[in-house]
Every structure is written in structure tokens, then in C-alpha cells.
Structure 1
């Protein structure tokens, strides 16, 4: 026990003295207020005399009860529910015991029977107010500061705090929120809550809005993005029981597609350190950090401009629409041939970005006259061409459809862009266009070459439209991609299917892909990208698919090969063992943007490509799949050899021998072609 002098000099002693003085005043005030309320504001003289004469018993008895109750030994700035329960008990006994003494000494005749009951409620309120004003004031100051922080444009400043979306059970989320409030400048700023157990909405927990259940993650992010408070991370506070492995895997998968890192709070209800959060992220499957690019340059290019997005209902197109809407274009044109997908993305944007004029255009890029009419009516400034057929096996068996969309459709959009004077068109491409062995990659390669030729046609004329190609690898979480497939198989506890034990792929998130697309546009407009170049994201090293399968099984809380087997099913038609980002005939160049490369392919004259495209269009009308396939790869082989003219094919006479790729140039492609 410390010496008496040291104890008297300590802050704890003086804090207790302040509480004692306050509580004495509260005891007297509670009795007076109770009498005033009971007598409707007019206390009779006899009753006033009785109160004054017996006030020492009220004060001494009440203070002794409060001392014995232990409320002076609690840290009220960290008050919890048990502390408040003890305070109510202490206030009740601080009224009951002095009144009992008055009854035993026959000094309670002046006291109406209902006054002690009223006095209990008043005293509880006064004692609580005297102890809870610090956390309440701190919460009010935090709420006053938050609007200024949240309303700050993300494109204008760099915010040091991470905006956090909290997911879990209310009691554990409340614990995280309470501990974050204790930090003067918390590293995480809560902007919303998703509750595991209940889909309740339009409610608040410690001032933070509850946006729905855990399944509403994408909708919640869209809603917060529309309010200019898009979260940058998720804090999972599910307590010791946590989330089931499958639910956690789904959460992390969706978060990855939204470019949100997932942090897990400690399992204990009381968190000793609110900064001690464990990171959970599907980026661990890729073994590389996520790429973040400066949004300021994109904002300067897009704000106030009319933007057209083809394929707006697809995975890339939808994310493009979301991110473009954040930069406040004058009008957003959504073009897609799928009615439901187009309706879905339009409704999402109208709900989350009501300030952005939005128009849905039901149109196929295969319909040249319709495409031209759209450009003539709306004259967009920027065109993001994301419409494509991308599923390798489907395009491999539907060659004419693949050529119609990826080759002829791309030409239609590019020709319309040049005719009606857009500022820039961005062609979304894929690493499968590099040394293609399948129809999908070959069609995308021709689309790249056409956009490059169109871009070079405008050299020397600063006002001519820019045509750029953005090339990247597989997109995590996109429709029909690898991660959702594995997730569905895990849900059924079915074997995870991998085509080959050594197959590798480059991966990125949808958010990263769209950032790259937007930055290619902004870079060309502001920094003067040299014409004819392709922009490629540095995606690190390729990842083995079988390694991703094993990591996903472990992330689901299971053991590979014991709980969930991995089945090797063999390469599919048109599929390569590994993908490449650069062709051997392309010049790889550094870029001024971090994490981005540039490629300079050997150009092909526009007239040569137009003649070849006309030939393909005629063959597609004849709907001879094999002849279209042979002509497609024949064109690419001649382009590779530098030939400037293509032989005309007789549509009525089928060639006696198929045209094959030069095995010395593309051995995988030649072997795949012969298999057909």
C-alpha cells in the first residue's frame, strides 16, 4: 500500500474527491427534483423543512452505499454494460437505505411514498451523466470530424486513414468500434457495418450505419462508393467462433474482386490493441501485392466528358461503369447486347450514382449500321471497348461467332470512333492474344493489330482520335473465371478440376484491370503516349493453377487431397500450358507509370487488315467454321511473316487442304490446329 502522502498527491485521489463532491450534489439534487416532480413544482413548507432536516442522513447514507458498491474503482471512460448495471444497483440502494433509516427512526412522515421511486430514476441519470460525459463527448467530436473527412474528394487528397467496412456479429463489432474511438487518430475509419446474424438495415451501431447482411457486400460497397466513402478494407469481427470456412472464402473472394483487403480482429471480445489485426487476402494466392495507381490523372481526363462503354453488362464493363461514374462524366452510355445484364448495370448506376446521367443502349457491336447510328447520335468523347467473347472453349467451337464479335465488332466500333471524332478509344485485350493457339486469342490479336493501325493512321495530326490497347491476364472473380469455379466445386465438396499440373496463368483483380484501362486513356491524353503502343500491366510471375487450388482449399479450412481432391482433366481445345505478356517480335519498353510496361508491336498497314477483315466477314456469312478458322490463322501467320496481301478465298469451293501455322513460329498453335 503506498504511503498516505503519496496517495493524497496522486491523480486517483483527487479524481475520487471530485466524484464524491459530485455524487453528494447528485444525491441532494435527485431528492429535490423528485419532490418537485411529485408535487407539480410546488413543495409545501413542511415538506421542504423535512427534506432539509434529513439531508445529512440522505447524503451520508447514500455516499456510504456508493463507496461500498465499488463504483469509484471503475474506469468509466471504458464503461461497459456490467459497469452500467452496477451503477443502477448502487443508485437504487443509495436511495433505499437512507429512506429505510428514515422509516426506522420515524422521520419519513414528510416524504410521499412515490418520491423514492422517482428519486431512483433521477439519481441513476445524474450518476451516469457524471461518469459517461467523457466517452460521449469523444464520440460527438469524432462524429463532427467524420463528415469533413468523408466528404473530402478521394481524387483531391490522400487520406491517411483507411475506410473500413466492418463485418461480423454486433457484440464484437461494437468492441472494435469502442476501441477505435479511444485512439486520437485511428488508422481505420468505420463507414459501414454488415451483420452476420441479421439483415437489419436503417439502423446504427455506435453511430455507424448497418447496411445489411454479409451477402450484401457488393451492394454495400456500391452504396458507399456513391457517397464518396468507398471502403479500402474489411474488418472481420466474428468473435471466437469466426465464420465457417466456406463463408469466409466467399467473403474474401468477393472482397478481392472489389480490391478490398480483409483484416481479422482478434477472437477475444476485449481487444487489447485495436491495431493488431490479421490480414486475410486472396492476393496471397497470387504472391504479389495489389497495384494501386493515381486516380487524379484519370479524373482530369474523364470529368465532364461523355463516355461510352461497350460490353457494359460484363465483369470488366460493369466495373468500368462503376469507376468511371466516380469521376463524374457528363453522361455515361452503357452499350450491351444482353438485355438483363444491361438492365442490371443501369439500375445499379442509377441507384448508386443518381447525379450521373446514364443511358442504356441495347445494341450488338456486330451490327455496323446500329453502331454507327449510336455514335452519330451521342458523339462520345471516350470509348472503352470491353465487349468480347472471352471463354476459350466456347469460342473454339463457335468460330464464326468469335470472329463476328472480336474481329468484325471491334472494327465496327473503331471505324465509328474515327468517323465521329472520339478523343480516345481503348481496346480491352488479353494475354491470350500473344502467340495465340486458339480462336479466342487469334481474334483478340487481330483486334489489337487493327487498333494499332488506326492509331498510327493519325500520326502527325494531334486532333485525330487515339486508339489504344490494354493487355492483361486472367481476372479474379470475373464470370466464368477460375476462382468462382473452384468456389462452386468447394461448395459441393467436389474435386477441384485443374487442366494440367504445370499450367500457369497471370492473375489480377477486376479493380486492377479497370484501373489499368482508365490509366491508359489518361496517359495518352495527358502525357502523350507514343502512337501504336500496347500498355501491359506488370503482373509479377505467373502462378500455378494447382497451387491456387491448394491454397483455396486451405483457406476454406480444409486439407488438400484429404478433404477435397484435385483432379487433372487435361488441356482444353485452344488452351496453352502457359501465357505470355509479350510477343517475341514486340519491343518491350519501360513506362512512366509504376507497375506498367509498354509494348511496341510490328505494325500492319490498315489497308491490309481491312482487306483481310472483309475476307473474314464474307466467310462468316457463309458460316463455314473450318474455313473461317483456317483463314483466321493463315492471316496471322502472314502478318507474322510480314506479308502485306492476303489471298482471296473462293467461298463456293472448300480448300482441299487446310492451311497450317508454321510450326517453327508457333509450335503449340500448329499442334492444336492439327488436332482439329
Structure 2
């Protein structure tokens, strides 16, 4: 393979020869017969200047940098521009001197230079196209591709597929809603209709893969389009954005599978940036659980608001180390520290508050996996309840301005120990708010995509392995939100905090997990329960069929943000909580799990353990409280 230096020398020598040839041809056409020796002598004297002007112009217009085997219209235009400027400069020089080459010769030579110099370079691409075309004539093993979008990105995708036959893509048709394009061809592929004809085209053309190449498509439009594509038997992929394709290193590798964020079709969050900046900029901010899914994203977004110091507290050194490295790369001027500590360790937490004096605290440290905590309730209480109590009391003691608890929809009418402990956490911050100058608030939301243990990666892996895809129950539904979106709303909720509120995020419409599994199977090019089996495994210990975001007694109040609401405070007496905590701590120390469950049920009267069966019947594991008993005791215990 020719080195870069030798390639440059080779092209310069070819250009010198082509320029001379263009002038000789121009002389011939100008004089038709024998060329006057005087003009030949003038040309020989001017030749070094003429050649130098052209070569410099070619260099300035990057004719020696382009990869001409895959040249596009941009390289072609640069080549034409280089030749035109070069001939223009030589024409001006000829006009300014007396003993000059005939102006007509200079003009004709300039025109011929465009043809010869640019034509020589484009011949590389023509040759490559012929070679690629011949080498890929047998396309029986290629995936037949339908491109959705006849714009510049669609054209780019088709060209990339043709340039890389080793990827085995054969673009056979295009779909576009612009009816003026229907019937036209783009890079050899014909536009066959609008999106309403996707199913018909897929069947008629035996399409294996649909590529959605409209990165500017609005979220609702994308959701509808993906829905249409999922009704076919073709696999569906998406081109994320123009900027990713411009990068020479990515090209088609950035095609990705459809995921839940595409199916959810959620609009981007609009933020009051000034309001968030006001309570974070120049402040010492502490994030507990800073290495976790939510905690690390909090750190990323907080860093952009220029805190005076960001404290990342986590017990797991590996995850904390990763976010530290990421922040160091992206925000080299950020003052941040990683503190390896457990929120259970009261002395260590108090020492941290005493030393760093945080002004804003985001408490994201918690055990969150429902089935695991059902088998380890003592650990759930130690970490979630007493960990939150430690951080909350230190916040009040050391003058923290704002404390934000990351809560969960599983805290509402909990059916598992994890949800019950998070409900107690909410009770702690509401009780603390009554006796402290710190503004204590909680933000409650459902499942987040991309978090550790998320269902989507599991489904994708199961589909890749040929199934079965496991769903716990045919009727199970969940609220979903993207991690960045959830964290943006958490930060925004902090601007509305006055103390004691439980902020509830608008999670959109709940999603039935069975329907979600079916959509992902179809978008992977398979038929649910035909190509890929969906197997029901039964709800895991403590798992609910339906999640709720509000308790009945909390009510709902709007804020200035359309996606954030406030649940009415259910005031809790801290002395009463402390009494329970003393008893619970004694039980924890003696590791009596059943006694612990009973005591938590006394404190969180809406907590009931339920077993759901695949026939949609439910059975109370502990029938100590009837529904009427629970309702009658809510006010007595929580107020």
C-alpha cells in the first residue's frame, strides 16, 4: 500500500503532466496548424510559475488529502474550485505581463484542467465502484434493506452499504412521506411510497431489515413509525444522528436496535436552568450512592452547574472510581472528591459533614433490588432506614440548606420490604423537616432505563440467544423513565422545594411488560410465541403487578413544571419514629427477620405482603390487617 508521502508525490507528478497536456491541447486548438516557436518559448519560461500556481491552489483546496476511492460531491466541488482558482490566477498574471501566452489558451487550458485533473481523481471512485459491483454480484446472502427516509442521511446510508459489501447489506427500496420523491431513485434504490406502504413493500420486496434514517424525526413521529415497522416481520434499526455518521470511524456501525426510549416516545425535558444553577452553583454538594445508576448521573449533571465542590460518597470503590475518572476527563476544572464510606457508619458520616460542610445533599444510596431485599430484610433496614436517618440527622445538625431523597413508586402501598423501607425514608425526611431548618424533600419516580438490572438488556440478550423471553406475569405493568430525564427532574424539583414535600414525577403512561417483550421480539425480526417463546415465570418475592406513584391520602398539586407534582405532606412525629427505630434496631441486632417484618408493618400500615398467581388471583401472605383496617389506621400512624 502506497504511503502518504509517496501518494502525495505521485499525485503532484500526475498533476504536472496533466497541466502540461492541457496547455499543449489548448495551443493546438488555438493555432490549428504549426505553433509559433515564440509562444512555445514564452510558455517554457512561464511554465514554472504556471505549474506552481496550480499546485499551490490544488494543495490549498485539499486535492492531496481526499480519499478519492470514496469521493463524494464535496471532493468533486473542491477539485473544480482548485482548478478554477488556479486558472483564474494564471489568467490575471497573463493580463498583467506583456510577453504572455494567448489569453484564449490560458482559458481553454483551465477548462481542460478541470476535466483532466478532476476526472483523473474521480476515476479512482469509478474503478472502485466497478470492482465492488463485480465482487458483490452474488447477493443471495445479503440482507435486503428498506431505507425509511430519502434525505441526505438515507442517501449516506445507501452509499455506505454499497461501499462496504463485507457488511452484507443490499439496499433495495426507500420509503419517504414526500410524495414528490415517490418513483425517483437515490443511489440505485427506488422510492416506492410513503410510510403507510411499509408493510406492503416489506412483503413484496422480501425485506429483512428496515433502517430508519430520519434522525430529525420528532419523538411522537418516531414512536408511530416504529409501531408501523413492528407490524412487519423485518428487523428494525435506527440511525441515531447526523453527527455520528459524519465521524469517519463510525459510519454504519452506529445503526442501533430500537430500544424502550424509542417505544416510549417521551419529549425532552424542559428545565429552568437558572433556578437549578441558583441552588447548586458555588455550593458544596454531596451525593450519596454517587457511583450508582442515579447517583452517577446526578454527579454528571451537577458538575455542569459549577458547584464549588462535588463530594461523591459510595461504599463501592469501583463504581466511584469510574465516575471520578469520567468527571476528571469531562470537567478538568471541577473540584470533586470521592469519599469511600457507608451511610450506615454514623461516625464516618458525621466526620464527613463536620469536615466538608455540604450545603446541598442528594441522598441516592440505597439497596433497591426487590427480590434480594425480600431475602435480606435486615440489610435493607440497615442501609435504607438507618442509613437515611444518619445522613438526614447530620444534614440537620450541620446546617445543610437542602436535602433531596431519591425515593421510588414502590414506597406506595408497598408489597415488599424494599418499598416499605423507602416509605420509612420518606417519613424520616418529612419528620425531620418539622424540627430542622434544612429543607427536606423526597422525589418519587418509577423504573429507570439503563440502570443495573434493567429489564431491556435482559430481554435483548434472551432474544439474541433464541429465547425464551421471561416475563414474570402476563398483566405486570411498570412506569419507565430515562436516567438523564429522571435526574433532570430531580434537580428541577429541588428548585420548588420548601420543605416536607414528596415530589412525584410524571412517568407517562404505564407499560405492560408483556407488550414490551412482544414489541422487542417483532423489532428483532421475529414472531412472538412462534419464533421466540415468551415464558411466564411468576412474580418474584415482593413484586407488585402494578406500581403506584401516590398514596391515597397525599392528594396531588401541580408545580410550575408540567412533569413534576407535589404530594400533600403526611406529617410524621419524629419522637414516635424514634421509638419505633429503637425497637427495630434491637430486632436487627438480634437478627429476627419475622419480628422485623411485623414491626415494620406496624409502622407502615399500608405495607402488606401479597402473592399474585398467573390466574390474576392474589393471596395475602400476612392477613393481620384488612383493607378497612389499613385505611382507618393511616391517619393515626402517619399524622
Q: TM-score, normalised by structure 1?
A: 0.57
1:590 to 558, 561, 565: 558
Q: Report what 2:73 is aligned to.
A: 79
Unaligned runs of 5+ in 2: 1-17, 25-36, 51-71, 85-108, 123-152, 164-217, 223-231, 246-254, 609-620, 632-639
State the shift of 1:333 in Å. 0.6
Distance 1:353 1:287, change over 3 A: closer
Task: For residue 573 of structure 1, give the secondary structure of its aligned residue in structure 2.
Answer: coil
Q: Report what 2:360 is aligned to.
A: 382
- The residue correspondences of 1:61-76 to structure 2 (distance < 5 A) are none
Distance 1:173 1:413, change over 3 A: farther
Q: Please say if 1:664 is aligned against 2:627.
A: yes
- The residue correspondences of 1:286-305 to structure 2 (distance < 5 A) are 286=264, 288-305=266-283
1:541 to 509, 521, 545: 509
Q: Report what 1:324 is aligned to.
A: 302
Number of corresponding residues: 437
Distance 1:170 1:343, change over 3 A: farther
Distance 1:280 1:659, change over 3 A: closer
Distance 2:160 2:458 in 1: 32
The answer to whether the 8 Å contact 1:435/1:666 transfers is: no
- The residue correspondences of 1:98-117 to structure 2 (distance < 5 A) are none
The answer to whether the 8 Å contact 1:634/1:660 transfers is: no
Task: For residue 570 of structure 1, give the secondary structure of its aligned residue in structure 2.
Answer: coil
Q: Please say if 1:508 is aligned against 2:486.
A: no
Distance 1:170 1:317, change over 3 A: farther
State the shift of 1:280 in Å. 6.2
Task: For residue 581 of structure 2, give the secondary structure of its aligned residue in structure 1.
Answer: helix
1:285 to 240, 263, 268: 263
The answer to whether the 8 Å contact 1:395/1:440 transfers is: yes
- The residue correspondences of 1:347-426 to structure 2 (distance < 5 A) are 347-426=325-404
Task: For residue 447 of structure 1, give the secondary structure of its aligned residue in structure 2.
Answer: helix
State the shift of 1:122 in Å. 11
Distance 1:358 1:663, change over 3 A: same
Distance 1:174 1:571 in 2: 48
State the shift of 1:572 in Å. 1.3
Distance 1:173 1:323 in 2: 37
- The residue correspondences of 1:165-204 to structure 2 (distance < 5 A) are 172=160
State the shift of 1:379 in Å. 0.6
Task: For residue 587 of structure 1, give the secondary structure of its aligned residue in structure 2.
Answer: coil
Distance 2:625 2:462 in 1: 39
State the shift of 1:500 in Å. 1.0
Distance 2:488 2:81 in 1: 55
Q: Please say if 1:343 is aligned against 2:321.
A: yes
- The residue correspondences of 1:553-572 to structure 2 (distance < 5 A) are 553-572=521-540
Distance 1:352 1:52, change over 3 A: closer
The answer to whether the 8 Å contact 1:392/1:575 transfers is: yes
- The residue correspondences of 1:92-491 to structure 2 (distance < 5 A) are 123=113, 172=160, 262=240, 282-286=260-264, 288-458=266-436, 464-491=437-464
Distance 1:307 1:441 in 2: 27
Provide, for residues 342-361 of structure 1, a one-character-per-residue CA deviation record: whole Å limited to 9, x for no partner: 11111111111111111110
Distance 1:513 1:476 in 2: 10
The answer to whether the 8 Å contact 1:334/1:361 transfers is: yes
Distance 1:615 1:667, change over 3 A: closer
Q: Report what 1:135 is aligned to.
A: none
Distance 2:287 2:344 in 1: 15
Q: Report what 2:15 is aligned to.
A: none
Distance 1:437 1:281, change over 3 A: closer
State the shift of 1:295 in Å. 2.6
Unaligned runs of 5+ in 1: 1-25, 33-44, 59-77, 91-118, 133-164, 176-231, 237-244, 253-260, 268-276, 459-463, 641-657, 669-676
Q: Report what 1:518 is aligned to.
A: 491
Distance 1:453 1:639, change over 3 A: farther
Distance 2:509 2:78 in 1: 56
Distance 1:169 1:348, change over 3 A: farther
The answer to whether the 8 Å contact 2:83/2:113 transfers is: no
Task: For residue 562 of structure 2, give the secondary structure of its aligned residue in structure 1.
Answer: coil
State the shift of 1:511 in Å. 1.1
The answer to whether the 8 Å contact 1:634/1:661 transfers is: no
Q: Report what 1:607 is aligned to.
A: 575
State the shift of 1:554 in Å. 2.0
Task: For residue 604 of structure 2, give the secondary structure of its aligned residue in structure 1.
Answer: helix
Distance 1:88 1:384, change over 3 A: closer
Q: TM-score, normalised by structure 2?
A: 0.60
Distance 1:638 1:511, change over 3 A: closer
The answer to whether the 8 Å contact 2:258/2:523 transfers is: no
State the shift of 1:619 in Å. 1.4
Distance 1:311 1:122, change over 3 A: farther
Distance 1:368 1:297 in 2: 33
Task: For residue 629 of structure 1, give the secondary structure of its aligned residue in structure 2.
Answer: helix
Distance 1:341 1:279 in 2: 27
State the shift of 1:120 in Å. 11
The answer to whether the 8 Å contact 2:601/2:607 transfers is: no
State the shift of 1:30 in Å. 7.8
Distance 2:420 2:624 in 1: 12
The answer to whether the 8 Å contact 2:413/2:606 transfers is: no
- The residue correspondences of 1:33-44 to structure 2 (distance < 5 A) are none
Structure 1 range deviating more: 302-311 or 623-632: 623-632
State the shift of 1:548 in Å. 1.0
The answer to whether the 8 Å contact 2:526/2:532 transfers is: yes
- The residue correspondences of 1:17-28 to structure 2 (distance < 5 A) are none
State the shift of 1:564 in Å. 1.4
Distance 1:287 1:47, change over 3 A: closer
State the shift of 1:491 in Å. 2.5
State the shift of 1:281 in Å. 6.2
